[in-house]
Amino acid sequence: MITKQNVIPLLKEACPSFEPSEEVDLNDKDELQHELSRVAGHLISLEYNGQLQREPDVFEAIEQLYIEGEADVKEAVTTGLFQAMHEMIIDQQISPEEIGMLLKPHSLKWWKTIDHFSENSGEQ
């Protein structure tokens, strides 16, 4: 099982261009959420600049978090990473489908859930 402490190191290994915060308590839900929103910003920046497809390992890592992560890890990825990414893509005029095409099956399911929720709440 992947625990909260493993989330950011796993994503950093998969996406070496991301620089995690120095002092973050990954056991703290809010701090983990904040760090995942930083990952989201980095990934959206890469997509905006046409470089995200060059980081395929990050999508494998996200899939691994959904398959092997504890319940609180899956929740953190959905709310901290995917929800933040979804909010950012609207501002950058990136379609949810652009990101969805890069995701693996388990993570794509949760991405679509966030997308569906956002559509129904009037964000788009």
Alpha helices in the chain (DSSP H): 4-14, 29-48, 56-68, 71-76, 83-92, 96-100, 105-120
Cα-atom radius of gyration of the chain, to the nearest Å? 13
In the chain, where the domains are located: 4-120
Residue 92 binned pLDDT confidence (cut-offs 50, 70, 90): confident
Please check whether residue 29 is in contact with residue 78, taking contact to mean a CB–CB distance below 8 angstroms: no
**Across residues 8-16, what is the average pLDDT?**
97
**In the prediction, which pLDDT does 8 show?**
97
Alpha carbons within 13 angstroms on the beta-carbon side of residue 62 total 28
Q: Which of 117, 76, 83 is nearest to 99 (CA)?
A: 83
Please check whether residue 100 is in contact with residue 112, taking contact to mean a CB–CB distance below 8 angstroms: yes
Whole-angstrom distance, CA of residue 59 vs CA of residue 61: 5
Distances (CA, A) of 104 to 31, 35, 90: 26, 22, 22
Residue 32 binned pLDDT confidence (cut-offs 50, 70, 90): very high
Q: For residue 63, give both structure tokens.
A: 């899939």
pLDDT digits (tens, 9 = 90+) for 52-68: 988 999 999 999 999 99
Mean pLDDT of the residues in the chain: 92
pLDDT at 124 over 50: no
| pTM for this entry | 0.91
Residue 118 binned pLDDT confidence (cut-offs 50, 70, 90): low
